[in-house]
A and B are shown apart, each in its own frame.
Chain A
Amino acid sequence: MIELKWLKTVLVALLLLLFQVTVLNQVSLLGFARPFVYPLILLLLPFDSNRAGVLVLALALGLLLDSFSDSPGLHAASLVLLAWLRPHVASLLTPRAGYEAADEPRVANLGLPWFSAYAGMLLLAHHIMFFSLEIFSFAALGRIFVHVISSGILSLILLLALEYLFGPPVSRKSLSR
């Protein structure tokens, strides 16, 4: 059973990566909003995952994406930051009941407001790192800001849509939590 679950995680990760490099990397709404879905792979890992393991996984995923988008180190640096911040953001957002009832960060487990805050903060960190490195100019701070905010909103909407479409079914009860 556990092995089947791993297989599913790997398949989902591959699909998200393919979707990112073939379709989403070509998208740029209004010239600056660029969608990212691959952070979802790390966001959905169970809370008790080994921290060092997640960091190494982030590096591997990032380098794979970088080889597809010809930007050695760019996606990797942003994903490693996200992977390191993940447990810290999770403990910052600890619900009153704690995480006992939930082993995975999902909308179905912890509710929409919690998941939005969790994904939003981590996406923000990822995007700040990504666009600062990519544009890399203090003269363009305004442009970096516009890129980060617009892409962050777009990515968050996309992640929530994917979570509702393909994630575990969300009951009414879990929404109001």
Chain B
Amino acid sequence: MRNFLNFLIRYHAFLLFLALEVFCLSLYFRSSAYPNAVIMYSANQVAGNVYLRYSNLREYTRLGQRNDSLASENARLMALLNMAQLQDSVVERLVSDSAQRPLYRYIPVRIIKNSITSRNNYMTLDRGSLHGLTADMGLITDEGIVGKIIATSEHFSVAMSVLHSKFSSSAALLPAAQYGADPGALPPAASQPALSAQIPDVDFPAPVSQPASPGEGSSGQAPVLSGRLSWDGKNPRMVQLIDIPGHVEPRPGDPVFSSGFGTLFPAGVPIGLVRELRQAPGSYFLELNVELGPDFSRLRHAYAVTYLYKEEQEALENTIDD
């Protein structure tokens, strides 16, 4: 016993070091098991308020740019209003389900902290559970998808960025031939002012909207090709789109959208443009490098989007999984 006590006293620093390391490592490797421990994240009061103040301070330097991007977003939305369109047809554009009830709800948020330098990046938002945000809502900007909310406190939320090893989302590829653009007409990346301006406004063929009638099938409207989006951690401008079947021939410049599978994002939200493609040796599937539409180093205003039929859809899907 005395020897044991001597041992403890002699090596107390080393033993304390071991205990603390075990504690830190278990916290690190199991942190995804405690998503409710908001205090561990920047959604806690202290970190949230520091970032809120700092971002308010910095915002003044970028007001002009923000106004421009909000104005162009408004212009695009106004073009979608009925009064901006010539009504010579009885077919209406479907923006909600057939009974004209809303499918998605959008909550405007500000991104007060964001990182792109880590392997696993997170954002902090200035809205929390008091404002209706919950975990598992998608986060988009007018230029594309940016992340997914994983934890909320009363006034702040933390979102997992697209630039995170655990981020995964279904994405659809729209080969240029399908929306009628000439792929050769797209100039190379270097001469482009803004990538988001290049992503075409297309009537995205919603994968679940209506069963294809025989007439449509013959018109050459191929099904949307969907794959899985993830990030390899190398370049914060490029994400990878995998599991695209090898029989299609996507080209650099083809736009990539959210597919609407899953409950995170509506169909047709832009993601980016295909830049490179390669086929893994011995594999049937292609892996594409997709340049992200939003500039992740300048994210500011975003929308948390929630799918109103999410619980019903997931409950149904869970009955099959089990």
Chain A interfacial positions (CB closer than 8 Å to B): 18, 21-22, 25-28, 31, 34, 51-52, 55-56, 58-59, 62-63, 66-74, 76-77, 80-81, 83-84, 133-136, 140, 143
Total contacts A-B at CB 8 Å: 103
Which single residue of chain A is at the shortest CB-CB distance from B12? A52
Instruction: Name the contact of A134 in the complex, choosing from B50, B118, B122 (C-beta under 8 A).
Output: B118
What are 19 inter-chain pairs, A to B, with CB distance below 8 A?
A: A21-B47, A22-B51, A52-B16, A56-B16, A59-B20, A59-B24, A67-B44, A67-B46, A70-B122, A71-B31, A71-B118, A72-B31, A73-B23, A73-B25, A73-B27, A73-B29, A76-B20, A81-B17, A135-B233
Given contacts A52-B16, A55-B13, A80-B17, contact A25 B115 (CB under 8 A): yes
For chain B, residues 257 to 306, give those with C-beta under 8 angstroms from any C-beta of chain A.
297
Q: Which residues of B contact A70 (CB under 8 A)?
A: 41-42, 120, 122, 124, 158
Q: Which residues of B contact A34 (CB under 8 A)?
A: 117
B31–A73 CB distance below 8 A: yes
Q: Which residues of A contact B14 (CB under 8 A)?
A: 84
Instruction: Name the contact of A84 in the complex, choosing from B13, B28, B120 (C-beta under 8 A).
Output: B13
Given contacts A68-B42, A70-B42, contact A26 B50 (CB under 8 A): no
Instruction: Name the contact of B47 in the complex, choosing from A68, A83, A140, A143 (C-beta under 8 A).
Output: A68
A11 CB to nearest chain B CB (Å): 16
For chain B, residues 41 to 79, give those with C-beta under 8 angstroms from any C-beta of chain A.
41-42, 44, 46-47, 50-51, 54
B117–A73 CB distance below 8 A: no
Given contacts A55-B13, A74-B28, A80-B17, contact A67 B40 (CB under 8 A): yes
B41–A67 CB distance below 8 A: yes
Determine if B39 is an interface residue (Cβ-Cβ < 8 Å): yes
